[in-house]
Structure 1
Amino acid sequence: MDLGDERTEELDTLQSIYPELVLDPNQPYTARLDLLVAPTKPLPVTFEPDNDVQRLAYLPLLHLHIILPAEYPAETCPVVKVSTSPSWLPEHVLNRLADEANSIWEEYGGGTILFSYISSMQEQADASFGLEDLTLASSMRAELVEYSRRMKKELFDKETFDCGVCLEPKKGSACYRMERCSHVFCIACLQDYYNNCIKEGDVNNVKCMSTECGKSSNRKKKDRLLSPKELLQIPIAREQVDRYATIKRKKKIESDPTIVFCPRTWCQGAMRTDKYPKITDVSQMDGSDSEPEEEDPAQHGGTDGPDGPEKRAIGVRGMERLAVCEDCNLAFCVICLASWHGDFVRCEPRDATQLTEEDQASLNFIQKNTSPCPYCSVPCQKSMGCNHITCTQCETHFCYLCAAWLNPDHPYAHFNDPKNKHCFQRLMDGVEGDLANDNIQFGGRRGADQVADFWEQEAMRIQMEVNDEDTR
């Protein structure tokens, strides 16, 4: 067979396998091919001198420039030039990839080897060319990060996915892949669900909607909430994301016993703290700002509070007593709640008698009409449904009747155990809610308050009867 015909046949066959192969009409037996570089595991790239590490899922294409000499394939190997643009792959790696054409040709003992060589290049690209990490100049950072993001989006848009909610097949361009878990849902379903959660203030459910997400065979962890930055990418409207971030921060502050609030009745803003910085730009609030790892309430049996410092009153000394309101900038003492009086003034905690009439009425209503979460102590009120409650703040499962912690794996065992005399077979008691069932008997702290109220009313009734007898 004529060698020229053998080279032509190999290039034609190769082009049928790789349609993107470009033959040079001005230089016979010359071809160019670009290979996608998508490592199986994203490649950590350190950009110096900033030492900024980025894990890139896609890197700029590998360019193969192939020349078939007249003596190929019988007497010599193809000439291959390998390059990237920009030049992100080290020179010694490029030389090794080019030399591999000769190694494969010798291994085959002559003959056509282009398909085997290109297949080897693609396999090495998938394996990051044997690189465990890469160090590049910071000047290349923006281009490479943007390229990886753009390629990821382009390839995703061309695929078809079954939405995890509506189960309908949708093009990737109409879908969104969750950053942490890679579950895919259509954008319409995500927007409908998250907008409703934020509108209702149920920010603890702004997380992946997959029932399998967050499950671990070794340990159950609290589901991670979506970051404001990711919500904007879905996209969720900016004003909704602002509301989400604000409510989430507010819930954190209100459940933190170390936070003291401004004593001014017209303000009552939280004290300044680095723990919960003021929200300035939600587009910059990424995963690191979202939801820290928290201990499972089950580890505490639902009765102990989370680890960490409790609010201190007596024993706080010196400048530790100074707090500044983040809203009105009032400097005040965390002990007596008066305007800041300096280090050397002795003060005492403000007692309950200093509550306003309105504050006292609110406190009385909360104590009488809510059951506290056994983990975070947030007061919860049931509007309807069974007595298996999930706290909206920390998602602890507990009994609404006695405030006992419930095992999330078997929450109804509590109501089926005869040992729990107060709650036994009372799962559906008060199903219409507190306001429609004034006569429901509770246990725990709330039950003790009920008993105390009963006997107080009885004492008042008896006293009134005695007074009536005396006046006759």
Structure 2
Amino acid sequence: MADTDDDERTEELETLQSIYPELVLDPNQPYTATLDLLVAPTKPLPVTFEPENDVARLAYLPPLHLEFILPADYPATSSAFVKPSTSPSWLPEHVLKRLEDEAEAIWEEYGGGTILFSYISSLQEQAEAAFGLEDLSLPSSMRKELVDYSRRMKKELFDKETFDCEVCLEPKKGSACYRMERCSHVFCIACLQDYYNSCIKEGDVNNVKCMSTDCGKSGNKAKKDRLLSPKELLQIPISREQVERYAKIKRKKKIESDPTIIFCPRSWCQGAMRTDRHPKITDVGQMDDSDSEAEDTDPAQPGAINGGTDPKKRNIGVRGMERLAICEDCNLAFCVVCLSSWHGDFVRCEPRDATQLTEEDQASLNFIMKNTSPCPYCSVPCQKSHGCNHMTCAQCKTHFCYLCGAWLNPDHPYQHYNDPKNKHCFQRLMDGAEGDVANGEIQFGGRRGAEQIADFWEQEAMRIQMQMNEEETW
């Protein structure tokens, strides 16, 4: 009987090792073996690390270590002895005890047969369901080890797979690819680096997002485009120098589109006021926000100054320390109402006259007013270099007509130029295709057209006055 049991134990362990090559047989103790099972829940397990209550969702957890001992009378009259454990001890004791008892329960169910394969299969299924745990609380001392393990296992398994890059369409090993954190689309690192470096170099930071055409689409609804965080760009990897440029341009665009931001009155500085809404960049490696540039800035946030950066529109009723701003670059303390150096709480002041522009500023403003069309949504000046009059704002992605400034339906933008009711723009899609500089006397509509008419009559009045002066001279 003992020889039969020995044969069954030997045969079971050899069969098990052929299925699980990672099974380790103990040469010093016959019929003893160990096996580590991968723990990869179908849904990442939320783990709360106490006492900080810091929650991390882990896709992989340290393996379940199994130690098998097959006694002499196994499987005829006794079950195998199984000792499950984890290192570190993240699995609760009551779960480990339940898994240990399950081996004998299966043996009794099988009526005294070999049970190791069935037992291991059962544990693998339970591991996919996180052993029935919906959440887990662990001491914070385990956090780094568990988070690092999850990240390392995710990378190791990804590197072994093969993917078709969604850009170059070539099959690549996972070690040469990157999976986007938010949407899980996969691209080869070379394609990502070429595209993102080009976007950042040209200042087109609004396109530093997933390159998949299906990204953000769910049924008939499309989610807002989400830009990649500086932290994720470093992981691809994109050079730190490029990532810092990306973060600075992105922040600059936000500041310039925020009407609550006041800029330093010193002509040699022009830095923005300090604000918690747009904190100064210190370490891009810690910036894991992936917000969208298309998100609206809410001027009603606490501390906002009514009227934004226009001195004539700012609320002069702002009192006391609410008027105090500090430049983030030169540390000048100044008043947001009169733009003078800070004069204290109890001094009455008036907004600085908007005509107090330097000659250079005035010339720049005149050029912008004459040679650009404002976006109808965010008012950012846009200048056309070439092409048709269907424009897309680089700041907020609004579609509009360059000739009259009208908003265009993104799904049918050219209907505007095919509608006879739009007398000003009808069949004028390609007018001024050479660009703004070569537009010459092309007639605009909307605000820009009104300025053209006003400028024409101003010039005409000056011409008539000059003519009258010449006649008087004669």
What TM-score results when the alignment is normalised by the length of structure 1?
0.94
- Answer whether contact 1:313 1:334 (CA < 8 A) is retained: no
- Secondary structure of the structure 1 residue equivalent to 2:253: helix
CA shift, 1:292, in A, is: 5.7
% identical aligned pairs: 84
1:453 matches 2:459: no
CA shift, 1:282, in A, is: 0.8
Q: Give the AA of the match of 2:354.
A: A
After TM superposition, what 4+ stretches of structure 1 lie above 6 angstroms from structure 2?
Answer: none
Q: For 1:145, which of 133, 140, 147 is the aligned residue?
A: 147
Give the corresponding residue for 2:113.
Answer: 111
Give the corresponding residue for 1:266.
Answer: 268
**After the TM superposition, which of the residue ranges 410-419 and 17-26 deviates more from structure 2?**
410-419
CA shift, 1:160, in A, is: 1.0
2:219 and 2:451 map into 1 onto residues whose CA distance is 42
Give the corresponding residue for 1:291.
Answer: 291
Q: Give the AA of the match of 1:291.
A: D
Equivalent runs, 1:252-263 vs 2, <5 Å: 252-263=254-265
**After the TM superposition, which of the residue ranges 400-409 and 127-136 deviates more from structure 2?**
400-409
Equivalent runs, 1:369-384 vs 2, <5 Å: 369-384=371-386
Q: Cα gap change, 1:364/1:417 in structure 2, threshold over 3 Å: closer, same or farther?
A: same
1:121 matches 2:128: no
1:413 and 1:76 map into 2 onto residues whose CA distance is 82
Q: Give the AA of the match of 2:439.
A: N
- Answer whether contact 1:373 1:398 (CA < 8 A) is retained: yes
Q: Give the AA of the match of 1:47.
A: F
Equivalent runs, 1:217-236 vs 2, <5 Å: 217=219, 219-236=221-238
Q: For 1:164, which of 158, 166, 169 is the aligned residue?
A: 166
Q: Give the AA of the match of 1:367.
A: M
Give the corresponding residue for 2:311.
Answer: none
Equivalent runs, 1:230-245 vs 2, <5 Å: 230-245=232-247
Q: For 1:10, which of 5, 9, 12 is the aligned residue?
A: 12
Structure 2 stretches lacking a partner, 5+ long: 309-313
1:123 and 1:410 map into 2 onto residues whose CA distance is 51
Q: Give the AA of the match of 2:117.
A: F
Give the corresponding residue for 1:339.
Answer: 341
Give the corresponding residue for 1:300.
Answer: none
- Secondary structure of the structure 1 residue equivalent to 2:222: coil
Q: Give the AA of the match of 1:121.
A: L
2:140 and 2:254 map into 1 onto residues whose CA distance is 37
Q: For 1:427, which of 411, 426, 429 is the aligned residue?
A: 429
- Answer whether contact 1:214 1:222 (CA < 8 A) is retained: yes
- Answer whether contact 1:42 1:55 (CA < 8 A) is retained: yes
1:420 and 1:33 map into 2 onto residues whose CA distance is 76
Q: For 1:357, which of 353, 356, 359 is the aligned residue?
A: 359
- Answer whether contact 2:264 2:270 (CA < 8 A) is retained: yes
Give the corresponding residue for 1:67.
Answer: 69
- Answer whether contact 1:380 1:391 (CA < 8 A) is retained: yes
**After the TM superposition, which of the residue ranges 69-78 and 28-37 deviates more from structure 2?**
69-78
- Secondary structure of the structure 1 residue equivalent to 2:178: strand
Q: Cα gap change, 1:294/1:100 in structure 2, threshold over 3 Å: closer, same or farther?
A: farther
Q: Cα gap change, 1:401/1:124 in structure 2, threshold over 3 Å: closer, same or farther?
A: same
Q: Cα gap change, 1:419/1:315 in structure 2, threshold over 3 Å: closer, same or farther?
A: farther
Q: For 1:91, which of 87, 93, 97 is the aligned residue?
A: 93
Deviations 1:419-451 (A, max 9, x none): 222222222222221112222221111111111
Q: Give the AA of the match of 2:9.
A: R
- Secondary structure of the structure 1 residue equivalent to 2:341: coil
- Secondary structure of the structure 2 residue equivalent to 1:354: coil
- Answer whether contact 2:68 2:81 (CA < 8 A) is retained: yes
1:306 and 1:404 map into 2 onto residues whose CA distance is 24
CA shift, 1:227, in A, is: 0.9
Equivalent runs, 1:124-203 vs 2, <5 Å: 124-203=126-205
Give the corresponding residue for 1:387.
Answer: 389
Give the corresponding residue for 2:253.
Answer: 251
- Answer whether contact 2:432 2:439 (CA < 8 A) is retained: yes
- Secondary structure of the structure 1 residue equivalent to 2:217: coil
2:247 and 2:75 map into 1 onto residues whose CA distance is 65
CA shift, 1:75, in A, is: 2.5
Q: Give the AA of the match of 1:157.
A: D
**After the TM superposition, which of the residue ranges 416-425 and 186-195 deviates more from structure 2?**
416-425
CA shift, 1:467, in A, is: 3.0
1:124 and 1:284 map into 2 onto residues whose CA distance is 36
CA shift, 1:349, in A, is: 1.2
Q: Give the AA of the match of 2:78.
A: T
Give the corresponding residue for 2:55.
Answer: 53
Aligned length in residues: 462
2:335 and 2:143 map into 1 onto residues whose CA distance is 48
Give the corresponding residue for 1:280.
Answer: 282
CA shift, 1:166, in A, is: 0.9
1:382 and 1:18 map into 2 onto residues whose CA distance is 65
Give the corresponding residue for 1:417.
Answer: 419
- Answer whether contact 2:47 2:56 (CA < 8 A) is retained: yes
CA shift, 1:234, in A, is: 1.0
Q: Give the AA of the match of 1:150.
A: R
Deviations 1:149-187 (A, max 9, x none): 111111111111111111111111111111111111111
CA shift, 1:295, in A, is: 5.0
- Secondary structure of the structure 2 residue equivalent to 1:352: coil
CA shift, 1:109, in A, is: 2.6
- Secondary structure of the structure 2 residue equivalent to 1:102: helix
Q: For 2:78, which of 69, 76, 81 is the aligned residue?
A: 76
- Secondary structure of the structure 1 residue equivalent to 2:391: strand
Deviations 1:62-97 (A, max 9, x none): 111112223222332221110111111001000111
CA shift, 1:293, in A, is: 8.6
Give the corresponding residue for 1:302.
Answer: none
What TM-score results when the alignment is normalised by the length of structure 2?
0.93
- Secondary structure of the structure 2 residue equivalent to 1:434: coil
CA shift, 1:358, in A, is: 0.8
Deviations 1:34-72 (A, max 9, x none): 110111111111111121111111110111111222322
Q: Cα gap change, 1:314/1:420 in structure 2, threshold over 3 Å: closer, same or farther?
A: farther
